[in-house]
């Protein structure tokens, strides 16, 4: 849906690359996930962070240890073609996030 609107979608979290691969597969995601294990990207965007850690979990019939360097709050950004933040949601409601992003993109394209 977003790709058809000429939009690049990235997910960034403090999870390891291994976690990202498992998460992407488990949720059948069609966009790239980036690992920000030290929280450098989150910090640059002002996203609050907490400690990371590891938890055991069974995924796809296999025991995995999921490791996260930092736990960043869930925020959404839309960045325009000039590299400026055009939209920021610091109180993301996952069920409404795509709709809100599409609205922000429509408003950008209407400018």
Distances (CA, A) of 3 to 11, 57, 63, 96: 14, 32, 34, 18
* 61: containing domain: 7-73
Distance from C-alpha of 55 to C-alpha of 58, rounded to nearest angstrom? 10
How are beta strands 32-35 and 49-59 bridged, if at all? unpaired
53 shares a domain with 89: no
Residues 43 and 81 in one domain: no
**By the 8 A CB rule, do 32 and 11 touch?**
yes
pLDDT confidence bin for 40, thresholds 50/70/90: very high
Residue 5, pLDDT score = 64
Closest alpha carbon to 73 in 40, 106, 48: 48
Same domain, 62 and 30: yes
| pLDDT surpassing 90 at residue 1 | no
pLDDT tens-digit map of 73-82: 999 999 988 8
Residues 14 and 49 both lie in one domain: yes
Based on the fold, state whether residues 55 and 80 are members of the same structural domain.
no
How many other CB atoms sit within 10 Å of the CB of residue 56?
A: 8
User: Within 10 Å of residue 53's Cβ, how many Cβ atoms?
Assistant: 12
| Residue 6: per-residue pLDDT | 73
């Amino acid at each position: 849906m977003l790709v058809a609107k000429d939009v690049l979608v990235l997910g960034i979290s403090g999870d390891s690359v291994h976690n990202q691969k498992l998460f992407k597969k488990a949720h059948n995601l069609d966009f790239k996930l980036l690992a920000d294990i030290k929280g450098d990207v989150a910090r640059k965007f002002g996203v609050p962070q907490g400690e990371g850690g590891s938890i055991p979990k069974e995924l796809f019939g296999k025991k995995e240890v999921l490791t996260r360097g930092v736990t960043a709050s869930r925020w959404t950004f839309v960045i325009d073609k000039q590299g400026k933040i055009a939209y920021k949601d610091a109180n993301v409601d996952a069920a409404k996030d795509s709709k809100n992003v599409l609205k922000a993109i429509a408003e950008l394209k209407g400018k």
